[in-house]
Structure 1
Amino acid sequence: MDWGSEIIVIPAIFIGLPWLIMHYMTKWKTAGTITNDDEQLLDELYHLAKRLDDRMDTVERLVSNDHADFKPARILHDQEKDNQQLRELDRLLAEKKEGRL
């Protein structure tokens, strides 16, 4: 090995490698957080999903009134275990908004 390659390898090991590791550690830490835009989008999607669920319940109720042999393929309307999860999400959203204001 000549001096020319040692001049490149030594700084690469002692300067370049730690810089590369620190660079990606910083990227990983910032990538783990959710932005305000992402949070807003998730909030909008959550409310859209609730509205669509209510509409689907209405459609299933109307169809089952017209056709006695209709069996909904979805989860049955207004089951307590489904509502409990929705209430938990509503509670978390309310706490988040209170903390933000």
Structure 2
Amino acid sequence: MEDILVPFILFGSIFIGLPWIILHYVTKWKTAATITSDDEVLLEELYSLARRLDERMDTVERLVADDDPSFTPVKRLVADQETDNQKLRELDRMMAEKKGARP
């Protein structure tokens, strides 16, 4: 009985079990490496929120500067830098194209 059982277990573990485990983890790695549609929506919302907050900050600084001429705005990063604006315009264009491509 053991002579028949050992080859079946060995055959099953080598040719069925091992490839199944390898393929299982390969598919897990592939799905984990991609960004999901929920992640994309969250990133778009965060990007929109960050732009609105930046615009609000500019408005508050402008209002305070009108009331107090000695006020100097605190540099957040580098305000209104052209290289950053080019990247943001490219991102806006890509998002508009993506929204236009959606059904």
2:77 aligns to what SS in structure 1? coil
Q: Select the structure with the greater relative contact order (CA < 8 A; seq sep ≥ 6).
A: 1
Structure 1 regions of 5+ residues with no counterpart?
none
2:23 matches 1:22: yes
Structure 2 regions of 5+ residues with no counterpart?
none
Alpha-carbon offset, residue 63 of structure 1: 4.0
The number of residues matched between the two structures is 100
Task: Give the AA of the match of 1:84.
Answer: Q
Task: Give the AA of the match of 1:19.
Answer: W
Distance 2:59 2:79 in 1: 9
Question: Which residue is equivalent to 1:53?
Answer: 54
Question: Which residue is equivalent to 2:88?
Answer: 86
Distance 1:67 1:10 in 2: 84
What's the % identity of the aligned pairs?
61
Say whether the 8 Å CA contact 2:65–2:71 is kept in structure 1.
Answer: yes
Q: TM-score, normalised by structure 1?
A: 0.74
- Say what the alpha-carbon RMSD is for the aligned residues: 2.6
Question: Which residue is equivalent to 1:77?
Answer: 79
Say whether the 8 Å CA contact 2:64–2:71 is kept in structure 1.
Answer: no
Change (3 A) 1:40 1:71: closer
